[in-house]
Amino acid sequence: MVKFTHIQDDRAQMVDISGKPEVVREATAAGKIYLRPGTLAAIREGKVVKGNVLATARVAATLAVKNTATIIPMCHTIPISSISVDFTDGDGYIETTVVVKMTGKTGVEMEALTGVSVALLTVWDMVKSAEKDKDGQYPVTRIDDIRVLAKKKGK
CATH of residue 68: 3.30.70.640
- 1, part of any domain: no
- 72, part of any domain: yes
- CB distance 98 to 83 below 8 Å: yes
Domain holding 125, by residue range, is 22-153
Q: How many domains does the chain have?
A: 1
Please tell me whether residue 97 adopts helix, strand or coil conformation: strand
Q: How far, in Å, are 72, 104, 116 from residue 57 at the CA level?
A: 20, 27, 9
- 145, part of any domain: yes
Please give the mean pLDDT across all residues of the chain. Answer: 91
Percent helix, strand, coil in the chain, to 5, is 30, 30, 35
pLDDT band at 4; cut points 50, 70, 90: low
- 13, part of any domain: no
- 17, part of any domain: no
- CB distance 119 to 63 below 8 Å: no
Whether residue 138 is predicted with pLDDT greater than 80 in this model: the reply is yes
Q: Which residues contact 122 (CB under 8 A, 6 or more apart)?
A: 53, 56, 57, 60, 61
Amino acid 52 reads: N
Range 58-78 average pLDDT:
94
Whether residue 128 is predicted with pLDDT greater than 80 in this model: the reply is yes
- 51, part of any domain: yes
- What pLDDT shows up at residue 6? 58
Residues marked active site are found at 125
Whether residue 9 is predicted with pLDDT greater than 70 in this model: the reply is no
- 131, part of any domain: yes
Give 27 or 107, the one with higher predicted confidence: 27
